[in-house]
Amino acid sequence: MTAIVFDKVWKEYGDHVVLERINLEIAPRSFVALVGPSGCGKTTFLRMLLGEEAATRGTILVDGKPLKVEPDADRGVVFQRYSVFPHLTVLQNVMIGREFETSRFLGKLFGAKRKQAEDEARTLLDAVGLNDHENKYPAALSGGMQQRLALAQALNRKPKILLLDEPFGALDPGIRADIHVLIRKIWNENDLTVVMVTHDLSEAFRLGTRVIAFERPRNRPEELERYGATLGSEAPGEIARPSGPQPGASITRDFEVWPKKIAAPVGGAASVPDTPSVAKAAE
C-alpha cells in the first residue's frame, strides 16, 4: 500500500524549467499511465520518483514520508533500454537482486543459498515466459524478451513502486499485447503501485487506472525553453511565478488532464482501492 504525493514540485536545469508546479496524489495500488509529447519531462518525473534526480522545489512524499534521496529496493524500474546486465545470463540477471540482498560483501551466493535463489529466479522466469532461455546472455534475446527479463529482475526484490519508462516502446504490436497481459497480471498479483510512461495513448488507457498528460505551453515558441510542463487544473494568472532566472516571464497555462477511470484490476484482491484520485487542483 504505497501512496505517493507530489506537492508543488518544480524541476529546473539551470534556466530551463522542465516541470512546473506538479501537484499530484497517487493512491496506493494505482496504475498511473503518463503521457505527453517528447521532451516534456516524463522521464525527468520518473527520475525524481526514483531518487535519481532531486526536485528543485517542492516535496515528494511516499506513504507520508519524504522520498528517499537515492534509488533503493523499494522502487523497481524498467527502462526503455539498458535495463538488464549484459554480462550476466538470464538467470543470473534475475538472481542478482537476491544476491545483493543476502551477500553484503561478495554480492554472490554459493551452495544451498544459491540453489534457493536460483529456484526463486526460475519461478519468476516462468511467469514472464523465459524459462527456456535461462543460460543465454541478454544480447542473444529479442527486445521483447529483454524487457520481460527486466520485469522479472525488477520484481525479484518485491518493490512497492514499479516505474516503467516506455518499457514497450520498441516492441511490435503483437508482442506488446502479450506483455500487456503480463504486466496486468503482475500488477494484480503484487502489492504494487505502478507508474508507467508511454507514448501510446491506447496503451495508457488499456493499462492505466489513471492517465495523466504532461504538456508544455507552446503559444510562444521563443518561450518554450522557459516554461516547464504543468500538471493540474489551475486557472491562468492565479499563482505568481517565483522570482526565477527569467524575471517577467509569465505562465501560459495550457494543460490537460485526463483523470479517467478504467476497468478495475481483474482478479485483484477485493480490498484494492481503485478510485483514481483526480489530479489535485492547485490552491
Report if residue 230 touches ligand ATP, rule: CB under 6 A.
no
Beta-strand ranges (E) seen in the chain are 4-13, 16-26, 31-35, 57-62, 65-66, 75-78, 161-165, 193-197, 210-213, 229-230
In this chain, which of 23, 24, 26, 41 binds ligand ATP, going by CB under 6 A?
A: 41
> CB of 120 within 8 A of CB of 98?
yes
**Binders in 2-21 for ligand ATP, by CB under 6 A:** 13, 16, 18
**Strand ranges for 54-178 from DSSP E:** 57-62, 65-66, 75-78, 161-165
Residue 157 touches which of Mg ion, ligand ATP, another protein, none (Cβ within 5-8 Å per kind): another protein
CB 259 within 8 A of CB 278: yes
Q: Does 38 bind ligand ATP (CB under 6 A)?
A: yes
Least CB distance to ligand ATP at residue 59 (A): 20
Residue whose C-alpha is closest to residue 27's, from 4, 50, 60, 59: 4
Q: Which stretch binds ligand ATP (CB under 6 A): 38-46, 116-124, 184-192, 246-254?
A: 38-46
Total residues found in the chain within this entry: 283
Of 30, 43, 92, 147, the residue at the interface with ligand ATP (CB under 6 A) is 43
In whole angstroms, the minimum distance from the beta carbon of 38 to Mg ion comes to 7
> Which of 10, 137, 205, 258 forms a contact with another protein (CB under 8 A)?
137
Provide the minimum distance between the beta carbon of 234 and Mg ion in the complex, in angstroms, as a whole number.
25
- 102 burial class (0-12, 13-18, 19+ CB within 10 angstroms)? middle
Strand order in the sheet with 161-165: 75-78, 161-165, 193-197, 31-35, 210-213
Q: Choose from another protein, Mg ion, ligand ATP, none: what does 228 bind? Cβ within 5-8 Å by kind.
A: none
151 within 8 A of 183, measured Cβ to Cβ: yes
Say if CB 272 and CB 29 are below 8 A apart: yes
Please tell me whether residue 82 binds another protein under the rule CB under 8 A. Answer: yes
Among another protein, ligand ATP, Mg ion, none, partner that 25 touches (CB below 5 to 8 angstroms by kind) = none
- 34 vs 251, beta carbon nearer another protein: 34
Q: What is the CA radius of gyration of the chain?
A: 20
Q: Cα 283 vs. chain centroid, distance in angstroms?
A: 27
Residue 138 interacts with another protein (CB under 8 A)?
yes
> Are the C-beta atoms of 166 and 198 separated by less than 8 Å?
yes
User: For ligand ATP, which is the closer residue by CB, 36 or 97?
Assistant: 36
One-letter amino acid for residue 214 of the chain: F
Least CB distance to Mg ion at residue 72 (A):
22
Q: Which of 2, 23, 30, 43 binds Mg ion (CB under 5 A)?
A: 43
Q: Which is nearer to ligand ATP, 249 or 269 (CB)?
A: 249
Interface with Mg ion (CB under 5 A): 43
Q: Which residues bind another protein (CB under 8 A)?
A: 50, 52, 70-73, 75-77, 79, 81-88, 96-97, 99-101, 104-108, 137-140, 150, 153-154, 156-157, 159
